[in-house]
Chains A and B, each alone.
Chain A
Amino acid sequence: MSPAIEINNLSVVLAGQKILDDITVDLSQGHIIGLLGPSGAGKTTLIRTLVGRQRITSGSVRILGQPAGSAALRSEIGYMTQSVSVYPDLTVRENVRYFAAMGGQARHDADRLVKQVELSGHANQLVSKLSGGQRSRVSLAVALLGSPKILMLDEPTVGVDPVLRQQLWAMFTELAGQGTTLLISSHVMDEAGRCQDLLLVRDGRLLAYDTPDGLCRRTGTKTVEQSFIKLVEARP
Chain B
Amino acid sequence: MSPRKILATAARVLRQLRHDRRTIALILLVPSVLLVILKYAFQAEPQTFSRLAPMILGIFPLVIMFIVTSIATLRERTSGTLDRLMSMPISKLDFVFGYALAFALLALLQAGFVCLVTLGFLKVTVLGGTAPVLVSAVLAAFLGTSLGLFVSAFATSEFQAVQFMPALIFPQLLTCGLFVARDHMARPLQWFADIMPLTYSVDAMKQVTSQALWSGTLTRDLLVVLGFAAVALLLGSVTIRRQE
In the complex, A51 Cα to B243 Cα: how many Å?
10
Of the residues A55, A82, A87, A102, contact of B243 by C-beta under 8 Å: A55
Interface residues in B156-177 by Cβ distance below 8 A to A read: none
Complex Cα spacing A84 to B78, Å: 11
Task: Report if A74-B87 is in contact (Cβ < 8 Å); known contacts: A53-B243, A69-B243, A89-B19.
Answer: yes
Q: Which of A27-35, A93-101, A202-210 contacts B (4 or more CB under 8 A)?
A: A93-101
- The verdict on A113 contacting chain B, using a C-beta distance below 8 Å, is no
The residue that A102 contacts in the complex, of B20, B79, B80, B90, with Cβ under 8 A, is: B90
Contact B16 A89 (CB under 8 A): yes
**What is the interface residue range for chain B against chain A?**
20 to 34
Do B84 and A126 touch (CB < 8 A)? Answer: no
A71 B89 Cβ-Cβ under 8 A: yes
The residue that A126 contacts in the complex, of B11, B19, B94, B242, with Cβ under 8 A, is: B19
B73-104, CB < 8 A from A: 79-81, 83-90, 94
A74: which B residues are within 8 A, CB to CB? Answer: 87-89
Whole-angstrom distance between the alpha carbons of A211 and B243 in the complex? 32
Which chain B residues lie closer than 8 Å to A84 at the CB level? Answer: 80
Residue B12 lies at the interface, judged by CB distance under 8 Å to chain A = yes
Tally of A interface residues using CB under 8 Å: 30
Are A142's CB and B243's CB within 8 A? no
Residues of chain B contacted by A99 (CB below 8 angstroms) = 84, 88
Cβ–Cβ contact A90 & B19, under 8 A = yes
The reply on B213 being an interface residue by CB < 8 A is: no
List B contacts of A220 (CB < 8 A). Answer: none
Task: Say which residue of B8, B86, B89, B94 sits within 8 Å of A53 (CB atoms).
Answer: B86
Are A102 and B81 neighbours in the complex by a CB distance under 8 Å? Answer: no
CB of B81 within 8 A of CB of A87, answer yes
In the assembled complex, B5 has its CB within 8 A of some CB on chain A:
yes
Question: A69 contacts which chain B residues (CB < 8 A)?
Answer: 242-243
Residues in B with CB closer than 8 Å to A181 are: none
Complex contacts, B85 vs chain A, CB 8 Å: 102
The answer to whether A103 touches B88, judged by C-beta atoms less than 8 angstroms apart, is yes
Note all chain A residues with C-beta closer than 8 A to B84. Answer: 79, 81, 85, 99, 142
- Complex: A133 Cα to B244 Cα, angstroms: 28
- Could you say which of A79, A89, A91, A104 contacts B89, with CB atoms under 8 Å apart? A104
Pick 15 A–B contacts, CB within 8 A, sort by A.
Answer: A52-B87, A55-B243, A74-B87, A74-B88, A74-B89, A75-B89, A81-B80, A84-B80, A85-B79, A85-B81, A85-B83, A85-B84, A87-B12, A102-B85, A103-B90
